[in-house]
Amino acid sequence: MKILANDGLSQPGIDVLTEASFEVITTNIAQEQLISYINDQKITVLLVRSATTVRKELIDSCPSIKIIGRGGVGMDNIDVEYAREKGLSVINTPAASSSSVAELVFAHLFGGVRFLFDSNRNMPLEGESNFKGLKKAYAKGIELRGKTIGIIGFGRIGQEVAKIALGLGMNVLAADKYIDATDIEVSLFSGASLKQSIETISIESVLKQSDFISLHVPAQKDYVIGSKEFSMMKKGSAIINAARGGVIDEVALVNSLDDNKLAFACLDTFENEPKPEVKLLMHPKISLTPHIGAATLEAQDRIGVELGQQIISILG
């Protein structure tokens, strides 16, 4: 049976599948040619990440497909319910990339509190001519230890963020519609571990009390954070979105930054991917990455292996 990993697959994932006698194709097929290619090659399994969409038309037009797999968590690029109604298996890897996304949150946070995102823009331009001026401009950083991080969406990724925050000595607040409380276990390199019980509170309470807000919610119809929510946040606080584009009202975000309500923002996802608004890209108070939350070598290896094991379990 043939598997098309249209957005790529790690070598460990390919190895798991080829050892089980599957043929894995990693050629990237353009979206408009995908239906024709699947039918010509009689593809049984279609694996995607965020770049390829799997909508009703493709599902109806490709009778050979038995499994649709998403390398990662969110499946908003797949018509999941319709596929399952048609008898297809739809799989993803919700746990494989949690640590990678959580680490990116703190890469942004560390950069934000020490102005690294802006310093890295200006040092090549002014480092020689205005070294003292830049030093003065970036000399009012703060430490994360002792600060409060508010996590909105306390699933797997949110809990991984909490683990790192606790390890840094931060106070952790969390809001979630479906989770009332959970035990967070921080594993040490030695093999020892520490446990902390965290009870969730209202989003309003999290917004009002936190120095930093980190979003970990799925894509949805309405903004999770808009003008009203920004108005609740502490003056000088910051927000990080490594979840999905569209959960933050980007116009309201820019206004809050320009009004000095927020000290900075960190964005890994955008409303208009792959063409984020220029106002975001050029803003001196926004730390930017191009949707790379899950893009570590370790996460991609875990994703590939987990997808392979699920496919073997279903078709083996």
Residues 18 and 150 in one domain: no
* pLDDT (mean) for 62-70: 98
Residues 114 and 262 in one domain: yes
> Please, which pLDDT band fits residue 316 given cuts at 50, 70 and 90?
confident
3-state SS, residue 310: helix
244 is catalytic: yes
Residues 77 and 106 in one domain: no
273 is catalytic: yes
- Can you give the pLDDT at residue 219? 86
- Can you give the pLDDT at residue 203? 98
Q: Which of these, 259, 257, 260, 277, lies nearest to 269 by C-alpha position? A: 277
* pLDDT (mean) for 160-170: 98
Q: Which amino acid is at 139?
A: A
Residues 18 and 146 in one domain: no
The string of DSSP letters for 217-266 reads: ----SS-SB-HHHHHHSPTTEEEEE-S-TTSB-HHHHHHHHHTTSEEEEE
Residues 242/213, Cβ–Cβ less than 8 Å:
no
Residues 62 and 177 in one domain: no
* pLDDT (mean) for 295-314: 96
Residues 70 and 107 in one domain: no
- Can you give the pLDDT at residue 312? 97
- Give the pairing of strands 212-215 and 193-199: unpaired
Q: Show the tokens assigned to 292.
A: 């790379």
**Helix segments in 114-176, DSSP class H:** 116-126, 131-137, 156-167
Whether 156 has a pLDDT exceeding 90, the answer reads yes
Residues 88 and 151 in one domain: no
- Can you give the pLDDT at residue 180? 97
Residues 129 and 261 in one domain: yes
Whether 222 has a pLDDT exceeding 80, the answer reads yes
C-alpha to C-alpha distance for 105 and 222, rounded to whole angstroms: 23
Number of domains forming the structure of the chain: 2
C-alpha to C-alpha distance for 267 and 45, rounded to whole angstroms: 33
Residues 308 and 214 in one domain: no
> Please, which pLDDT band fits residue 215 given cuts at 50, 70 and 90?
very high
Whether 304 has a pLDDT exceeding 80, the answer reads yes
- Can you give the pLDDT at residue 74? 82
Whether 281 has a pLDDT exceeding 90, the answer reads yes
pLDDT by residue (tens digit) across 93-142? 988 999 999 999 999 999 999 999 999 999 999 999 999 999 999 999 99
> Please, which pLDDT band fits residue 311 given cuts at 50, 70 and 90?
very high
Altogether, the residues listed in the chain come to a count of 316
> Please, which pLDDT band fits residue 212 given cuts at 50, 70 and 90?
very high
3-state SS, residue 83: helix
* pLDDT (mean) for 203-220: 96
Query: Which residues span the domain enclosing 163?
Result: 98-288
Residues 69/88, Cβ–Cβ less than 8 Å:
no
% of the chain residues with pLDDT over 90: 95
Residues 273/51, Cβ–Cβ less than 8 Å:
no
C-alpha distances in Å from residue 81, one per residue of 70, 75, 87, 116, 175:
14, 11, 10, 43, 27
Kindly name the residue from 108, 156, 216, 244 that is annotated as catalytic: 244
C-alpha to C-alpha distance for 175 and 202, rounded to whole angstroms: 6
Residues 27 and 118 in one domain: no
Q: Show the tokens assigned to 55.
A: 């909508």
CA angle 314, 68, 92 (to 5 degrees): 80
Residues 301 and 276 in one domain: no
3-state helix, strand, coil in the chain (%, to 5): 40, 20, 40
pLDDT by residue (tens digit) across 169-186? 999 999 999 999 999 999
> Please, which pLDDT band fits residue 50 given cuts at 50, 70 and 90?
confident
CATH of the domain at 49: 3.40.50.720
Residues 187 and 220 in one domain: yes
Q: For all residues of the chain together, what is the average pLDDT?
A: 97
> Please, which pLDDT band fits residue 43 given cuts at 50, 70 and 90?
very high
Q: Show the tokens assigned to 148.
A: 């409060």
C-alpha to C-alpha distance for 67 and 90, rounded to whole angstroms: 6
